[in-house]
């Protein structure tokens, strides 16, 4: 087929031919759709003679040079013709100008050329009702209105003929314009298998002028093209990549069959486009839709699709796989310290290192932030999985240098195995996430396999969350108090209020442990606000009746710490209850401070200026930088000895507690000691150097009535 493929330029005024210089009666090339200019000139000349005009001009709507008859074009004629053409194109009605009578002047008479007494212009209306062109007649000694009716009728007949001749010419010009926009080539193939290619010369030349010929010479595409032609049905956007020596190019072909009125097949014709840039852009978009733009790893969407395919393989063939869920240790601190550009460089290095560990079958993805995941179908034996997890940790522990700064990362990994650790892809990923959380909680820079007990803990927390919500709606959330006493004189200075729940086995200690579960309830802020209000009401009542200034200490749950209206809420409670700002201590969780919330810090500093004492819960138990609490105006540190671990077998809780109290004093902070029961006696706890202490454990908190009895002793 391709041996009969020829190429020629498609000049603007040339008809399409089956082969250049050799017409073939069976070719599907159209008849000359553009009427001969000489035919138009003849009709214009006849119209000129029949009307007695001295000159005639035909201006077509496709902006070609006007056809003039009678005289050589002159500038004076051109100005008049142009003006009348514009007027008639706008109005689509005949327009006449005549010379004024002696001593008078009309508004348009200045448009008439010298030696002309009148001018008339007629629109040539197409089937759409729009003007295809304008015929302008110039008169020397007469005007249109004075012509005999027979001359007018004859001239109008020529106008109708011009309309009929001009319509296909305009349509043809429009078609060529559309082709120049839509195609780089047109092509034709006759019933004998001969193909002709025409290059649309108004289009920018292709990098390779014979790109379409290259495509048609490609054996695979040539066979496909022949199949499409032989099917004798229209086809659209059939694409083929071609190697043209300088790289890959892509050609798109569209075509439709041509039949005679009797149904005889003549061949096929269509257009071709160089879609190389479009194809490259589409591939780039597809790649970006599947990949993380920073690291080039698979993104979350791609990873979930691969996870589904892995499950399908297991269902169909029993193929097992292992999922690793990774989270970088210390990344947030480094990102905040050195900036996001520095953090991006870290993530790129991590991505490169991750690629060196799993098998070639593994899919490695960045799920977001510093969170990564790997699904590896080549790993299913526990020993091999452990080796891979340890290799990942070792690799990410190796020092790396970014912009001259040497840093060392770590990573925590959660591992789940298909099929025992998940019935769906989402469950497998979720269980790996639970194992990751367990690894982080155990000290980071380690890996944990998922165990069913992890899921049990989550389900227990969900049960507790629902119970807390139901208890709140049933008005079963209450509060109890713990005495806060002075270390030196053992004077009762105030009380710490703790939440209680009358539903099930959720006691005060359990409620404290469930503070993050509480924060996930829809009513978390409401529960916290009511808790603080009730505690303030009670302490304000006691202070008024005792004429004293004792304080109440309350902890904010995580949801309250994220409330943008926190300071307004506290101020309203203080005003409503009559408790002074200085008689209230708000305790903040370390986890809330570590979020580095600008809003929280601003509100805490505002409350501190009003006189509210600010405290930190669980001082010494979590890695909370002093910068976090000192910069937020926190001066009261709550040291729970039951929550701190000994550094080694030589240290004791007493020595650790004393060291933490001394460090707090150097920061200008006061310490309230709690949780010493079972570790220290009342005498030993007073040697730590704290300002105050809680006499009882949380589970030994007393009711308001019981504390009132102590106060009013």
Tell me what the pLDDT averaged over the chain comes to: 83
Predicted local distance difference test score (pLDDT) of residue 202: 53
Q: pLDDT band at 519, cuts 50/70/90?
A: low
239-288 pLDDT, tens digit per residue, is: 888 777 677 888 888 999 999 989 899 999 988 888 888 888 888 888 88
Predicted local distance difference test score (pLDDT) of residue 190: 87
Point out the least confidently predicted range of 191-200, 286-295, 358-367: 191-200
Query: Cβ(11)–Cβ(29) under 8 Å?
Result: no
Predicted local distance difference test score (pLDDT) of residue 210: 66
Q: pLDDT band at 645, cuts 50/70/90?
A: low
State mean pLDDT over 118-139.
88
- Which distant-in-sequence residues (6+ apart) come within 8 Å of 160 by Cβ? none
Predicted local distance difference test score (pLDDT) of residue 634: 93
CA atoms within 13 A on the CB side of 695: 15
Predicted local distance difference test score (pLDDT) of residue 105: 53
573-610 pLDDT, tens digit per residue, is: 999 999 999 999 999 988 888 777 788 999 999 999 99
Predicted local distance difference test score (pLDDT) of residue 62: 61
What share of the chain in percent tops pLDDT 90?
40
Predicted local distance difference test score (pLDDT) of residue 351: 96
Predicted local distance difference test score (pLDDT) of residue 27: 40
What letter would DSSP give residue 556? P
pTM: 0.54
pLDDT surpasses 50 at 26: no
Q: pLDDT band at 491, cuts 50/70/90?
A: very high
What letter would DSSP give residue 101? P
Predicted local distance difference test score (pLDDT) of residue 18: 26
How far is residue 527's CA from residue 517's CA, in Å, rounded to a whole number? Answer: 13
State mean pLDDT over 657-670.
92
Query: Cβ(117)–Cβ(97) under 8 Å?
Result: no
State mean pLDDT over 397-410.
90
How far is residue 350's CA from residue 398's CA, in Å, rounded to a whole number? Answer: 10
522-581 pLDDT, tens digit per residue, is: 788 898 999 999 999 999 999 999 999 999 999 998 888 889 999 999 999 999 999 999
What letter would DSSP give residue 649? T
| DSSP letter for each residue of 410-475 | EEEEEEEEETTT-SSHHHHHHHHHHHHHHHHHTTSSSEEE--HHHHHHHHHHHHHHHHHHHHHHTT
Predicted local distance difference test score (pLDDT) of residue 273: 87
Predicted local distance difference test score (pLDDT) of residue 69: 55
Residue 371: exposure state from Cβ atoms within 10 A (0-12, 13-18, ≥19): middle
Point out the least confidently predicted range of 217-221, 303-307, 386-390, 679-683: 217-221
Task: Identify the residue with better confidence: 651 or 114.
Answer: 114
Top mean-pLDDT range of 100-114, 449-463, 678-692: 678-692
What share of the chain in percent tops pLDDT 70?
86
Task: Identify the residue with better confidence: 496 or 75.
Answer: 496
Query: Cβ(72)–Cβ(85) under 8 Å?
Result: no
State mean pLDDT over 600-627.
87
How far is residue 147's CA from residue 96's CA, in Å, rounded to a whole number? Answer: 13
Point out the least confidently predicted range of 135-144, 421-430, 441-450, 615-624: 615-624
Q: Which domains does the chain have, with CATH numbers?
A: 37-178 (3.30.450.40), 204-280 (3.30.450.20), 293-450 (3.30.70.270), 462-712 (3.20.20.450)
pLDDT surpasses 90 at 292: yes
Q: pLDDT band at 8, cuts 50/70/90?
A: very low
State mean pLDDT over 75-103.
84
What letter would DSSP give residue 643? G
Q: pLDDT band at 511, cuts 50/70/90?
A: low
Point out the least confidently predicted range of 124-128, 232-236, 491-495: 124-128
């Amino acid at each position: 087929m391709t041996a009969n493929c020829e190429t020629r330029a498609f000049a603007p005024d040339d008809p399409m031919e089956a082969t250049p210089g050799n017409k073939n009666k069976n070719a599907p090339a159209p008849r000359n759709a553009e009427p001969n200019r000489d035919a138009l000139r003849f009709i214009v000349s006849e119209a000129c003679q029949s009307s007695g005009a001295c000159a005639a001009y035909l201006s077509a709507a496709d902006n070609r040079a006007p056809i003039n008859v009678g005289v050589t074009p002159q500038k004076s004629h051109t100005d008049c013709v142009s003006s009348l053409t514009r007027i008639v194109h706008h109005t689509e009605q005949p327009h006449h100008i005549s010379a004024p009578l002696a001593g008078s002047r009309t508004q348009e008479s200045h448009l008439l050329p010298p030696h002309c007494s009148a001018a008339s212009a007629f629109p040539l209306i197409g089937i759409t009702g729009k003007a295809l062109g304008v015929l302008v007649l110039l008169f020397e000694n007469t005007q249109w209105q004075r012509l005999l009716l027979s001359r007018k009728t004859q001239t109008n007949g020529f106008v109708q003929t011009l309309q009929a001749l001009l319509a296909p010419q305009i349509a043809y010009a429009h078609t060529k314009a559309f082709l120049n926009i839509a195609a780089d080539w047109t092509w034709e193939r006759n019933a004998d298998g001969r193909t002709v290619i025409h290059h649309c010369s108004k289009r920018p030349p292709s990098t390779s002028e014979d790109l379409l010929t290259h495509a048609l010479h490609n054996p695979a595409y040539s066979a496909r093209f022949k199949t499409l032609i032989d099917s004798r049905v229209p086809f659209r956007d059939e694409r083929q990549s071609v190697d043209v020596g300088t790289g890959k190019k892509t050609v798109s072909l569209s075509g439709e069959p041509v039949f005679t009125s009797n149904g005889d097949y003549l061949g096929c014709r269509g257009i071709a486009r160089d879609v190389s840039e479009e194809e490259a852009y589409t591939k780039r978009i597809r790649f970006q839709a599947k990949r993380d733009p920073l690291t080039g790893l698979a993104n979350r969407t791609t990873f979930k699709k691969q996870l589904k395919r892995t499950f399908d393989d297991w269902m169909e063939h029993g193929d097992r796989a292992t999922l690793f869920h990774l989270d970088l240790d210390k990344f947030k601190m480094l990102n905040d310290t050195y900036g996001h550009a520095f953090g991006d460089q870290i993530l790129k290095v991590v991505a490169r290192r991750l690629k060196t560990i799993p098998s070639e079958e593994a899919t490695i993805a960045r799920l977001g932030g510093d969170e990564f995941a790997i699904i590896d179908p080549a790993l299913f034996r526990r020993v091999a999985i452990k080796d891979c997890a340890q290799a990942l940790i070792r690799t990410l522990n190796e020092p790396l240098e970014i912009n001259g700064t040497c840093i060392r990362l770590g990573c925590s990994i959660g591992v789940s195995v298909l099929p025992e650790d998940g019935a769906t892809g989402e469950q497998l990923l979720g269980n790996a996430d639970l194992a990751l959380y367990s690894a982080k909680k155990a000290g980071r820079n380690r890996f944990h396999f998922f165990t069913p007990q992890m899921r049990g803990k989550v389900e227990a927390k969900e049960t507790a969350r629902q119970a807390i919500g139901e208890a709140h709606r049933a008005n079963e959330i209450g509060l109890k108090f713990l005495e806060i006493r002075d270390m030196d004189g053992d004077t009762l200075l105030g009380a710490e209020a703790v939440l209680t729940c009358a539903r099930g086995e959720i006691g005060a200690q359990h409620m404290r442990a469930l503070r993050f579960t509480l924060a996930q309830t829809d009513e978390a802020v409401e529960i916290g606000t009511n808790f603080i209000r009730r505690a303030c009401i009670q302490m304000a009542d006691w202070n008024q009746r005792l004429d004293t200034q004792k304080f109440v200490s309350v902890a904010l749950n995580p949801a309250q710490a994220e409330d943008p209206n926190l300071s307004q809420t506290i101020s309203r409670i203080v005003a409503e209850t009559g408790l002074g700002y200085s008689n209230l201590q708000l305790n903040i969780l370390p986890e809330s401070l570590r979020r580095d919330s600008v809003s929280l810090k601003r509100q805490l500093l505002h409350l501190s200026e009003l006189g509210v004492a600010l405290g930190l819960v669980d001082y010494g138990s979590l890695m909370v930088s002093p910068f976090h609490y000192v910069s937020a105006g926190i001066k009261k540190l709550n040291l729970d000895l039951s929550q701190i671990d000994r550094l080694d077998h030589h240290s004791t809780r007493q020595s650790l507690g004393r060291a933490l109290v001394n460090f707090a004093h150097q920061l200008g902070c006061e310490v309230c000691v709690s949780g010493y029961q079972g570790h220290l006696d009342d005498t030993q706890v007073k040697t730590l150097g704290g300002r105050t202490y809680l006499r009882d454990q949380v589970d030994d908190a007393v009711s308001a009535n019981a504390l009132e009895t102590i106060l009013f002793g």
